[in-house]
Chain A
Amino acid sequence: MSNYNDEHGIGNSQTATPARGGVGHASQFLNLVSPEHLSRTPAGDSESQLDLGLENGGEISHQIAQQLLSAVSEGGLEFRTDLDDNEMFKSPQKGMDQAYFDSLERINKKKIRPGQTCPICASEFLEDPYPLLVRLPCHKNHVFDLECATSWLKEHNTCPICRTELDKPKKAVAQPDSEEDEDMAFFG
C-alpha cells in the first residue's frame, strides 16, 4: 500500500542519496588538492585557515579544502543537503504537539458567559453540558473548544484571533521530546 512518502516521492532512499552526494562532492574536491599542500600547513592553525589572502594560490585551495574537510567532519555539508531535500519541500512543521495541548489552561464552564461562542466552530460553549474548554496564553478572552483549538494548532502555531505566535513550536519528529519531560516535571 502506498503511503504519503511514496505518493510525494520523498521515500527514505531518495532523501538518503543527496546527503551522501553532498559528502561525495566534497571528497572529490579534496582529492584534487595535492598532498604537499595539505601537509604544508600546521594542523590546528585555525587563524590561517580563516585568512583567505591572495598571496599564495596553493595556500588558498588548501584553506578551502581544510574548511570543506572540517565542514564535512562536523556534519555541516550533510546537514545542508538534508535541509534542502527534506525541510524546504515538505510542508513546514510549525504545528503544536500533544504536550502543548495538555499544557493549555482549562476553563471551567462557570466562567463562561451565556451566549459566548467558540470562534472556530461558532457554537455556544454552554450548548454542551460538559464542555472541554481551553484558553490560549495570549489573551484572557481567547477561549476555544479544546477540539477546535487542537484541529487548528496541529498545523499552525498562532492564535486564531490575534495571530500571536505561541511558544514551543513542534520540533522535527525524530527528536526526543525534552519539552514534554519538562512539562511533566513542572506539573508533577
Chain B
Amino acid sequence: MSEKRLLKELRTISKELVQEDSSLALNGVLVLEPVSEGDLFEWRARIRGPEGSCYANGIWDLHITVPSNYPTAPPTFRFVMSSERNARLASDSPTATRGRCLRMPHPNVNFETGEICLDILQQMWTPAWSLSSSVVAIVMLLDSPEPLSPLNIDLANLLKSGDQKGYDDLVKYYIERFTIAES
C-alpha cells in the first residue's frame, strides 16, 4: 500500500510544484522529491521561511524518511545540517542562488541535530496527512512556535518571557550566521 500511495503523492506534488498558486508554492515549499529515482522511501525538501516572520530570509533543506508501514505510521522529518548533502541538492536546484541555512533556530527544533517536535508528526498523525501537508505544517510551525514543548530551550525561554524582539533578533542573527553563500 505504501508504494502505491507514495507514487500518487509524487504525481500530485510534481504537478503542484510547477503551479505558482498551488498550496505548496504559496507556503514556501520549493522542492519536494525522492532523493533518488526508484526509492520512494527517502525524500528531500527545500522550504523558505514564511513571509513576514523572522524566518523570511532563510532557506532550509529537510530530509524525509518514510516508514514501510506508511501512511499508518508518520514519516520522519529532519532539518539537514550536513553541508555535503546541501551542496548536492543546491547544485541541481534552480533556487541555488539564494543561500541555504545550515541551522534551524527554532524552539521546537533541535539546534544540533535538526530533529523536529511537531504533534502531527508524532501522536497526532493520521493517514489523512501526506508528505506535502506535513511539509506545509513544518513551514507553518516556524511562524507559530510552541514554547511549552521545546527542543531549543534558550529560544523557548525568550518567547516564554515575552521578549519577542529579542527572539526575532536572535533568530535573524543565527540565520545570517549559518547561511552559506552560493554562486
Q: What residues make up the interface of A, taking CB atoms closer than 8 Å to B?
A: 119-123, 148, 151-152, 155-156, 158-161, 163
Complex-state Cα separation, A167 to B174, whole angstroms: 48
Could you show 28 A-B contacts with beta carbons less than 8 Å apart?
Answer: A119-B127, A119-B128, A120-B5, A120-B127, A120-B128, A121-B1, A121-B4, A121-B5, A122-B8, A122-B9, A122-B130, A123-B4, A123-B5, A123-B8, A148-B1, A152-B72, A152-B126, A152-B127, A155-B72, A156-B126, A158-B126, A159-B126, A160-B127, A160-B128, A161-B126, A161-B128, A163-B124, A163-B126
Complex-state Cα separation, A160 to B128, whole angstroms: 6
Complex-state Cα separation, A92 to B72, whole angstroms: 16
Residues from chain B with Cβ under 8 Å of A151 in the complex: 1, 72
Given contacts A120-B5, A155-B72, 9 further A-B contacts (CB under 8 A): A120-B127, A120-B128, A121-B4, A121-B5, A123-B4, A156-B126, A159-B126, A161-B126, A163-B126
Contacts across chains A and B counted by CB atoms under 8 Å: 37
A interface: dominant SS: loop
Residues from chain B with Cβ under 8 Å of A160 in the complex: 126-128
Q: For residue A153, give the distance in angstroms from its CB to the closest CB of chain B.
A: 10
By beta carbon, the residue of chain A nearest B73 is A155
B interface: dominant SS: loop
Complex-state Cα separation, A152 to B124, whole angstroms: 13
**Is B58's beta carbon under 8 Å from chain A?**
no
Q: For residue B14, give the distance in angstroms from its CB to the closest CB of chain A.
A: 15
Q: For residue B4, give the distance in angstroms from its CB to the closest CB of chain A.
A: 7
Q: What residues make up the interface of B, taking CB atoms closer than 8 Å to A?
A: 1, 4-5, 8-9, 71-72, 124, 126-128, 130
Q: For residue B75, give the distance in angstroms from its CB to the closest CB of chain A.
A: 15
Q: For residue B6, give the distance in angstroms from its CB to the closest CB of chain A.
A: 9
Complex-state Cα separation, A120 to B9, whole angstroms: 12
Q: For residue A21, give the distance in angstroms from its CB to the closest CB of chain B.
A: 33
Complex-state Cα separation, A123 to B2, whole angstroms: 11
Residues from chain B with Cβ under 8 Å of A158 in the complex: 126
Residues from chain B with Cβ under 8 Å of A121 in the complex: 1, 4-5, 71
Contact A120 B124 (CB under 8 A): no
Q: For residue A151, give the distance in angstroms from its CB to the closest CB of chain B.
A: 6
List the 8 closest A-B pairs by CB distance, nearest first. Answer: A160-B126, A120-B127, A122-B8, A119-B128, A160-B128, A122-B5, A160-B127, A161-B128
Q: For residue B105, give the distance in angstroms from its CB to the closest CB of chain A.
A: 31
Q: For residue A115, give the distance in angstroms from its CB to the closest CB of chain B.
A: 13
By beta carbon, the residue of chain A nearest B7 is A122
Q: For residue B82, give the distance in angstroms from its CB to the closest CB of chain A.
A: 31
Complex-state Cα separation, A121 to B71, whole angstroms: 8
Complex-state Cα separation, A148 to B124, whole angstroms: 18
Q: Which of B4, B71, B72, B127 has the most CB of A within 10 A?
A: B127
Contact A120 B4 (CB under 8 A): no
